[in-house]
């Protein structure tokens, strides 16, 4: 199959075992660590992953480095808090027997606060993750990086699982950090009105209300994140 699964990490001992195990069907699992002080690297090595070190370069550049270090041309970029499902594994194996595109979008099923969420515009949440590294590269965005593919891009049907946030506190901490990295032009008008639109879109138009309390909390938190982006 000639597939490498690459994972960038720092202090991911809580998640890394599930991620590596879900990728164990690949010819290589490469963990590129940026200085963990917990058991991340030991756990990954114990499960057969190849572990390398790279000082933090930013999300896009760090992932490009991991892809560059992979031994195979076809790579799957997996985050430490994600797992490849058995259904997706079989689809990947089948696809790589005769790839008809240079890159493939993969859906994510996001888990917020203990519940899988398929409303609020958070599913299928597709991003390119499986690609031929000779034909693709991450942009240099400091956060919310994406892959630029030369040639045809297709999509796979099955999703991977993503443990997005376990608690409200974790969401607030991470999104506050992301909003500092992903600064929009300071715009008081958008800071005042965009959060309300974000809430209405996620909770009403994208049916977040069907997910009960979690749907309401998610819409409120994302509206707060929108405020941070435009006010910082």
Tell me, what CATH number does 24's domain have?
3.90.550.10
If asked whether residues 25 and 131 sit together in one domain, one would say: yes
Cis-peptide, bond into residue 167, ω within 30° of zero = no
Cβ(116)–Cβ(124) below 8 Å: no
**Core vs surface per residue 87-108: b (16+ CB within 10 A) or e:** ebbebbeebbeeeebbbbbbbb
Whether residues 23 and 76 share a domain: the answer is yes
Q: Give the pLDDT of residue 183.
A: 57
Q: Are residues 152 and 52 in the same domain?
A: yes
pTM over 0.75: yes
- Looking at the structure, do residues 81 and 93 belong to the same domain, yes or no? yes
Task: Tell whether 125 and 203 lie within a shared domain.
Answer: no
Q: Point out the domain boundary residue: 124, 145, 165.
A: 165
> What is d(CA 79, CA 146) in angstroms, rounded to the nearest whole number?
13
pLDDT confidence of residue 187: 80
Contacting residues for 120 by C-beta, under 8 A, at least 6 apart? 202, 203, 206, 207, 208, 211, 215, 218, 219
Among 67, 74, 78, 70, smallest CA distance to 96 is for 74
Domain closes at, from 165, 182, 202: 165
Residue 57 has a pLDDT of 93
| pLDDT tens for the chain, residues 1 to 232 | 799 999 999 999 999 999 999 999 999 999 999 999 999 999 999 999 999 999 999 999 999 999 999 999 999 999 999 999 999 999 999 999 999 999 999 999 999 999 999 999 999 999 999 999 999 999 987 778 899 999 999 999 999 999 999 999 999 998 888 777 665 567 888 888 999 999 999 999 999 999 999 999 999 999 999 998 888 7
Q: Identify whether residues 75 and 115 lie together within a single domain.
A: yes
The DSSP element (H or E) to which 115 belongs, if any, is strand 115-117
**Which residue shows structure tokens 């930013």?**
58
Both tokens of residue 193? 């009105």
Domain count, the chain: 2
83 contacts: CB under 8 Å, gap ≥ 6: 18, 19, 21, 22, 160, 161
160 and 173 co-located in one domain: no
Q: What is the pLDDT of residue 182?
A: 61
- Residue 114: Cβ-neighbour burial (10 angstroms; 0-12, 13-18, 19+): exposed
Tokens coding 182: 């992903």
33 and 146 housed in the same domain: yes
Task: State how far the Cα of 222 lies from the Cα of 215, in Å rounded to an integer.
Answer: 11
Residue-number span of the structural domain to which 19 is assigned: 3-165
Domain identity same for 177 and 116: no
206 and 132 inside one domain: no
Which of 118, 138, 165 is where one domain is finished?
165
Please give the pLDDT value at position 140: 85
Shared domain for 215 and 100, answered yes or no, is no
Query: Looking at residue 98, what is its pLDDT?
Result: 96
For the beta carbon of residue 35, count every other beta carbon within 10 angstroms.
Answer: 13
**Confidence at residue 185, expressed as pLDDT on a 0 to 100 scale:** 63
DSSP three-state, residue 111 = strand
* 104 Cβ neighbours under 8 A, 6+ residues apart: 95, 128, 129, 130, 131, 153, 154, 155, 156
- Same domain? 128 vs 62: yes
Give the model's pLDDT for residue 231.
84
pLDDT of residue 81: 97
- Count other Cβ atoms within 10 Å, centred on residue 60: 19
């Amino acid at each position: 199959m000639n597939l490498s699964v690459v994972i960038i990490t720092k202090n991911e001992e809580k998640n890394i075992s599930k991620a590596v195990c879900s990728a164990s069907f690949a010819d290589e699992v490469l963990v590129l660590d940026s200085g963990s002080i917990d058991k991340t690297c030991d756990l990954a090595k114990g499960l057969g992953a190849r572990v390398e070190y790279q000082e933090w370069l930013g999300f896009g550049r760090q992932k490009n480095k991991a892809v560059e270090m992979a031994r195979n041309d076809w790579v799957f970029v997996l985050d430490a808090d994600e797992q490849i499902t058995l259904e997706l594994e079989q689809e990947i194996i089948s696809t790589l027997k005769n790839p008809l595109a240079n890159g493939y979008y993969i859906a994510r099923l996001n888990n917020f606060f203990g519940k899988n969420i398929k409303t609020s515009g958070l599913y299928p949440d597709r991003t390119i993750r499986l690609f031929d590294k000779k034909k693709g590269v991450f942009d240099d965005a400091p956060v919310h990086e994406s892959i630029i593919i030369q040639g045809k891009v297709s999509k796979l049907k099955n999703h991977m699982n993503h443990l997005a946030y376990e608690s409200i506190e974790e969401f607030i901490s991470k999104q506050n950090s992301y909003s500092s990295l992903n600064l929009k032009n300071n715009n008081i008008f958008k800071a005042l009105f965009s959060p309300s639109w974000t809430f209405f879109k996620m909770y009403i138009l994208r049916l977040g209300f069907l997910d009960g309390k979690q749907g309401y909390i998610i819409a409120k938190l994302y509206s707060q994140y929108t405020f941070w982006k435009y006010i910082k």
